[in-house]
Amino acid sequence: MLVAHITDLHVTPEPELFYGRVDTRAALGRMIDRIESLHPRPDLVVATGDLVDTPSPESYATLRRLFERLTAPLKLLPGNHDDRALLAQAFPDHGYLGAGFANYVVDYEAFRLVAFDAVVEGKEYARPSAVALDWLRGTLAEAPDRATMMIMHHPPVDTGMAFIDAFQGRWPPELPDLVRANPQVRLILCGHAHRHIDATLGAARVCVAGGSAYQFDLATSLETPPQMVIEPPSLRLHLWRAGEVVSHLVPVEGSLPEVRFKGIDETTWPAIRDRLKPRLERNPSA
């Protein structure tokens, strides 16, 4: 099962530009075009928060119109720039959303998806409540043998981005302890840091995706002030097979030059492919 992970879309309504210069609508459109151009196409798209920049009915209506171009199923999670109630109103067909926290579970054949909403609306940091931690504890205990992919907005680890980590401060120890105590959690998808970052927490790989329109400049010291940089965006893809997952990074720009290998083309590849197939042991049901 192939999962596309996007985050920190910061969509603004027409004709507004983010910070007066970045067209986040066009950036998300290019990201969606890239997803739709992939072969094979992803089986699922997850968007892990900061879906709009300033929450309003107009912002979420714009977001919805853009997402209508996706052919794969979509799962959403709010970020600190989002309003849970307005998000739920704009996506009434996403029944897992509501005025409260967007904590939910979806069972797929390849893995179990656990969404954990620890956002404090309007704040740069996350703080899961005791009720939310109890929900997560019980949810993970329900399926200790099922490979699990969690999605969150804030990374539950230090990112190495100094100002991000300073704003967040230390997580309540219950959350990292819960993840460490549940080795079935293999992958945690996050956003918020506006850079591609990988870390580990227990048996899980924490995978942070960059923003769809802009990134934060690399700042591993607080001596470097935060600023955004218009780096070329990339798409994070996660391929699940038989309870294991590998991840890829794909540039959004789809017009990059391609160079064929000598002796391999549409005519010769089928015979080569058929010779290779027996060597590739895969679980067809994963």
Q: Provide the strand spans (E) within the chain.
A: 2-6, 44-48, 74-77, 104-107, 112-115, 148-151, 185-190, 197-201, 204-208, 215-216, 228-229, 234-241, 244-251
Q: Which of 228, 78, 259 is nearest to 152 (CA)?
A: 78
Domains along the chain?
Answer: 2-279 (3.60.21.10)
DSSP conformational letter for 111 = -
pLDDT score recorded for residue 73: 98
Rg (CA), the chain: 19
End-to-end CA distance of the chain: 6
pTM equals: 0.93
Residue pair 228/214 in contact by the 8 Å Cβ criterion:
yes
Instruction: Report the C-alpha gap between 154 and 121 in whole angstroms.
Output: 12
Provide the strand spans (E) within 39-156: 44-48, 74-77, 104-107, 112-115, 148-151
Q: What digits encode the pLDDT tens for the residues 150-172?
A: 999 999 999 999 999 999 999 99
- Alpha carbon distance 200, 217 (integer Å): 22
Residue 41 is classified by DSSP as P
Q: Which amino acid is at 23?
A: D
Find the angle CA(171)-CA(218)-CA(7) to the nearest 5 degrees.
60
Q: Centre a 10 Å sphere on the Cβ of residue 268 and count the other Cβ atoms it contains.
A: 11
Calpha distance 286→284 (Å, rounded): 6
Nearest to 149, CA basis, from 117, 116, 185, 181 = 185
Point out the residues of the chain with pLDDT beneath 50: 283-286
- Which residue do the tokens 């991840």 mark? 247
